[in-house]
Every structure is written in C-alpha cells, then in structure tokens.
Structure 1
Amino acid sequence: MNINQKFIAQRDSQGGDDGVIPLINVVFLMLIFFMVAGQIQKADPIQITPPNSINEQRPEAEPNVMMVVGSDGEMYLNDDLVVLEDVESRLTQLFDSAADQDAFWVQIKADGALNIESLRPLFSEIRAAGLTKVSIATQLGQGDAQ
C-alpha cells in the first residue's frame, strides 16, 4: 500500500496536466490540416443532379452568372428565385454592369431529368439579352463511355 500512496503523491505533486498538452497539440494539428486540405464550396439553392457527360474539360474561370434549374422548372439566377420572363432583364443589367464584358459568360446547372426542349425557352431569353457565351454544367459519366 505504501508504494501506491507514493505514486499518487508523486503524480499529485507534478500537476497531472502533462497528458493533456500532447492531446491539445494533436487537435490543433488536425484543425490546421482540415482547414488547409478541406475544400469549402458554396451550395446550390436547390438540390440537382447534373446530366452525365464524357467531356472532362472544366472552365478556367468562374462564371459571371450562375443559373440553377431544378427538375420542376424552378429557376435561380445567382441564388435568387426568378421567373422566365425576368431572366432577360436581369441578365442585361448584370452584363451592363460587368467590368469585362468580353469575358462575361453564363453557366447553367440544370437537373439531368430535364430534357433539352424544356430548356429551350431559357436559351431564348439568354440570347434575347445579347449573351452568346453559355455553358451547361455536367458531371463525368459513371458508366462506360462508348
């Protein structure tokens, strides 16, 4: 029993916090790692599944305007809910206020369940606004590309 009391007295005299300092160091290292290695990306206003594509090319710059079109036809222009009739005027305002109008482009994130015919009115509104640089966001196909 004397030996146990001796070790308890020795532990109490040292403070007992020596085991916590390495744990704090590990937690801070993990925090720094996840801050550096993690990628934070803005979420879309509605959940969509882009259509599949075999094209692996990605744009070099961020689009000036991001349009998100849900499977039910709901449209968002830069995270603001819009109706089809307002798209032309909103795009014209954004284009006129752009610093570099030559590099101005629109990206459309449409749900893969939509067919191209349902997007035709949207393309007409974009063309009516005078914009010609438009891309559709896709995801790399999961199946075999033939």
Structure 2
Amino acid sequence: MKIGQKYAARKAANEDNMVPLINVVFLMLVFFMVAGQIQKADPIAVMPPESINDHRAETDPSVAIFVGMNGELYVEDQPYQVNDVKAYLEKQFAAAADKQAFWVQIKADGAIPLEELRPIFEQIRQAGLTKVSLATQLERGQP
C-alpha cells in the first residue's frame, strides 16, 4: 500500500503550493487598488451642464479652469482670482512646447449663469488664446 501513501503525500504537497500563489495574487490586487489612480480628482465638485454632443477631445487640456457654484475659481489645483487668470495663461502658453496644441478647458457648474462666466472668457481672450472648450456631460434620457 505504498502507492496510496505516495499519492496522498503528492496531493497534500500540491495543495500547499497553491497557498503562496493565492497570497501573491491577493497582494497584487490590493496593491493595484490602493496605488492605481484612474482619474485625477477635481479641486471642487462641479456638475457640468448637459449637452447632446458626445464628442470628446483627443488630448487632455493644457490648462483646466474650474468654476464652482459659490464663485470659487481654480486654475489647475490652485485657487485664483478672475483678474489673475490672464497672467497665468500667458505664462503657460509661453512655456508650452507645442503652441498649436495648447488649449484651455473650462469646467463650470451647470447652474451658473453665462453672465458669471463672461469675465473668465474675457481673460482667456485677452491672453490671446482661441482654443477654449466648455466641459459638458451627455444629456440623460427623460424617464
């Protein structure tokens, strides 16, 4: 009956070899869940206006401007005053390697009236930039 003992020993050895593999897979899963970042978070919560246009830009914006409901204005991740936006944009445009691909994205809350966004658009125009995009979200179907 030595055959039965060898088979039992071999079966137990195979089960023991699976434990380290399971541990490694579990550790890799935890590592990618903790270390992986899908998308950079916006500095303030913004709910963009709805649009029927589902066209997305092929590249990321060179500069992102965020406008909140309470008049908060962030350029990239830093709070700004409206009058300081022009100088920042001119500096970033001068430092850009590809000036043809330079563009600005405004991500404003959908409840903000257009009149409150006009000063920001004016600052962008005064900086000499013409490629500007207003971020929107795809309109949801009516129930």
TM-score range, shorter chain: 0.7 to 0.9
**How far apart are the structure 1 equivalents of 2:21 and 2:102?**
52
Which SS does the other structure have where 1:44 is aligned? Answer: coil
Aligned to 1:68: 66
Aligned to 2:23: 24
**How far apart are the structure 2 equivalents of 1:18 and 1:98?**
54
Which SS does the other structure have where 2:41 is aligned? Answer: coil
Tell me how large the CA RMSD over aligned residues is: 2.7
Deviations 1:4-57 (CA, angstroms, capped at 9, x unpaired):
xxxxxx9xxx799567335325525x719x66xx76100000111111111010
Structure 1, unpaired ranges of 5+: 1-9
Which SS does the other structure have where 2:60 is aligned? Answer: coil
Structure 2, unpaired ranges of 5+: 1-7
**How far apart are the structure 1 equivalents of 2:93 and 2:25?**
49
Aligned to 2:115: 117
Aligned to 1:100: 98
Aligned to 1:126: 124
Tell me which stretches of 4 or more aligned residues in structure 1 moved more than 6 Å.
Answer: none
Aligned to 1:53: 51
**How far apart are the structure 1 equivalents of 2:115 and 2:68?**
14
What is the TM-score normalised by the length of structure 1? 0.77
Across the two proteins, how many residue pairs are aligned to each other? 129
Deviations 1:67-96 (CA, angstroms, capped at 9, x unpaired):
011111111111111000101111111111
Matching residue's letter, 2:38: I
Q: Work out the percentage of aligned pairs sharing the same amino acid.
A: 53
Aligned to 1:88: 86
Superposition pairs for residues 2-13 of structure 1, below 5 Å?
none
**How far apart are the structure 2 equivalents of 1:24 and 1:72?**
49
**How far apart are the structure 1 equivalents of 2:98 and 2:24?**
47
**How far apart are the structure 1 equivalents of 2:98 and 2:17?**
59
What is the TM-score normalised by the length of structure 2? 0.78
